[in-house]
Structure 1
Amino acid sequence: MQNIPKPIVLSIAGHDPSGGAGIQADIEVLAALGCHAATAISCLTIQDSRNVHELIPLQSALLTRQVETLLTDYAIDAIKIGLIGSADAAMAIGKLLRQHPHIPVVLDPILAAGGGTELASEALLQAMLEEIIPHTLITTPNSQEARRLTRRPQLEQCAHDLISRGCQAVLITGTHEAGTDVVNTLYRQDAPPHSKHWPRLEGSYHGSGCTIASAIAAGLAKELPLVVAVSQAQQFTWDSLKAGWRPGKGQQIPDRLYFIERDQLV
């Protein structure tokens, strides 16, 4: 039997020892959706399901060497960027993206932990806007991140500001907004906003942003149209959250392999 090659997604993200978010979350999503995950660690963390207690950025030179080594060996089909850790790392990532403009990039702009710990300095915010956003196909901030990135009160203004900086699309997720439903809205430069409503699940979840961004990257790596990749990623994320569980004393974590476990029980 001939082995069929899988699309390869490069995840640049932090390590979360709790397994709820970060590199481990990305690997689970990409494996579940039929992709191979190549990974580059941007930072280490001391964290659990409640909060990030310490952030330890890697030297940007080490991050660059990880990514360059993979790009030399693999034909990367998409890049997903999560927790960056420092302005120096953002500038290094921006330089790498400029050298590979043909690869679609998904940015999950992680600015704070679910427990409230700040994960992005003002210098990192600026570097993200100047060095990474212009080379991004789509960025996936939640509503709080969108407002902080752009300093604009209205979410549509936030999206247009980010698009004006060079990214082609913005998906703003609405978990932090009021309402019985969670409303996620996709904004593009030459198309009307497209919103999808999802029943709000009880509790809070650790790693939902990583899940949706990685799922979009998987769709793009499989050459799905952007709108289709975003739609399928939202469904996968909601299903993973619905099947989620609470392993510790803090947030629930998505079960990104829920369908495998479901099929085994049949």
Structure 2
Amino acid sequence: MIPNILSIAGTDPTGGAGIQADIKTFCALGAYAMAAVTAVVAQNTQGVRGFVALDPDFVAQQIDAVFEDVRVDAVKIGMVATAPIAEAIAECLRHHGAANIVLDPVMVAKSGDHLLRPEAVAAIRERLVPLSTVITPNLPEAGVLLGIDPHWTLQEMRRRIGALAELGPEWVLLKGGHLPDCAQSTDLLLGAGETLELTAPRLATRNDHGTGCTLSAAIAARLPSRTVEEAVREAKTYVHQALSAGDRLDVGRGHGPLHHFHALW
């Protein structure tokens, strides 16, 4: 059966990140895509110009409208923007008994622009993280969730990932893409009492806009029919291939997008 996947996130008018990237990823991986918008973002491949967060009650109405009519096999949560929106999402997902929840704690865009108001961090940590099947923080996001600012190394990742698990998710995928001067990109996956190291060659490309959105969306697309480990491994392979094919696109003058449909076009 074709899985129905819901993205709860912000927008990207250039199509490389946010809900647009999620929809492309779901479709590329054979899933039916649905979306509830949390914020309308004015951004392009060079940076974020601003965003308007939607009313939390209206975000909840969108989510309720989906669950009351459609079987939802997995949920991907991206940009939540504000604490009230995070709380509204958590309440809706609890009410509807949502399963297979992938949380990408989006805080800062590739350009360095902030996509999360400071007071929302606690709401994400306390309300959304414990609901999640998998959380997928990068290293800066992990530091914010833990309230620390460490000098990240692979050894530090191994030491800190347990603290992320103690926040309450079933699984943690700690992404090591921000580690400097590494020929390999190493992520750590912790769940079921075991930590796995998932390594891939680091790609030199400027077409990496929306990488985190795409990875978390790919995990969500695979979760209904895979174990968590299988879903993460397949998602990483998909992202690696989409990054490798990114230079086939000519989109923007900054960080260009991944080629989500590399296997189809």
> Is the TM-score greater than 0.5?
yes
Residue equivalent to 2:210: 207
Partner in structure 1 of residue 41 of structure 2: 45
Does structure 1 conserve the Cα–Cα contact (< 8 Å) formed by 2:135 and 2:173?
yes
Match of 1:83 among 65, 79, 89: 79
Q: CA RMSD in A?
A: 1.3
CA drift of 1:157 comes to 4.3
Correspondence 1:107 to 2:111: no
Query: Which one is further off, 241-250 or 226-235?
Result: 241-250
Q: Does 1:11 align with 2:7?
A: yes
Q: Is 2:75–2:98's contact at 8 Å kept on the other side of the alignment?
A: no
1:197 CA displacement: 1.5
Greater CA drift, 62-71 or 138-147:
138-147
Query: Which structure 2 residues correspond to residues 15-164 of structure 1 after superposition, within 5 A?
Result: 15-152=11-148, 153=150, 154-164=156-166
- Find the aligned partners of 1:248 and 1:64 in 2 and give their Cα distance: 33
The aligned counterpart of 1:218 is 221
Deviating 4+ runs (over 3 angstroms): none
Once the two structures are superposed, residues 131-160 of structure 1 have per-residue CA deviations (whole angstroms, 9 ceiling, x without a partner) of 100100000011111112112433234422
Displacement after TM superposition at 1:27 (Å): 0.7
Q: Structure 2 length normalisation: TM-score?
A: 0.93
Could you tell me the TM-score, scaled by structure 1's length? 0.92
Query: 2:153 aligns to what?
Result: none
Contact kept in structure 1, 2:67 and 2:96, CA below 8 Å: no
For 1:54, what is the secondary structure of its paired residue?
strand
For residues 186-205 of structure 1, the C-alpha deviation after alignment (integer angstroms, 9 at most, x for no partner) is: 112511x1112111111341
- The one-letter code sitting in structure 1 at the alignment partner of 2:259 is D
Residue of structure 1 in register with 2:262 after alignment: 258
Matches of 1:42 and 1:57 in 2, distance apart?
6
Change in 2 beyond 3 A, CA 1:125/1:225: same
SS in 2 for 1:91: helix
C-alpha displacement of 1:6: 1.4
Q: Deviations over 1:33-65 (max 9, x none)?
A: 110011100100110001111011000011000
The one of 164, 167, 171 equivalent to 1:165 is 167
5+ long unaligned stretches in structure 2? 151-155
Q: CA offsets, 1:72-111, max 9 Å, x none?
A: 0001000000111111100101111222335110001111
Stretch deviating more after TM superposition (198-207 or 29-38)? 198-207
Task: Indicate the SS of the match to 1:233.
Answer: helix
In the alignment, which residue of structure 2 is the partner of 1:264?
none
SS of the residue 2:97 aligns to: coil
CA distance in 2, matches of 1:100, 1:160: 29
Deviations 1:196-230 (A, max 9, x none): 21111113410000111011001112x21111001
CA distance 1:150–1:88, shift in 2 (3 Å): same
Q: Does structure 2 conserve the Cα–Cα contact (< 8 Å) formed by 1:78 and 1:105?
A: yes
> Percent identity of the aligned residues?
33
Aligned residues between the structures: 255
Q: Which amino acid aligns with 1:90?
A: A
> Where in structure 1 are there 5+ consecutive unaligned residues?
262-266
Candidates 187, 191, 195, aligned match of 2:190:
187
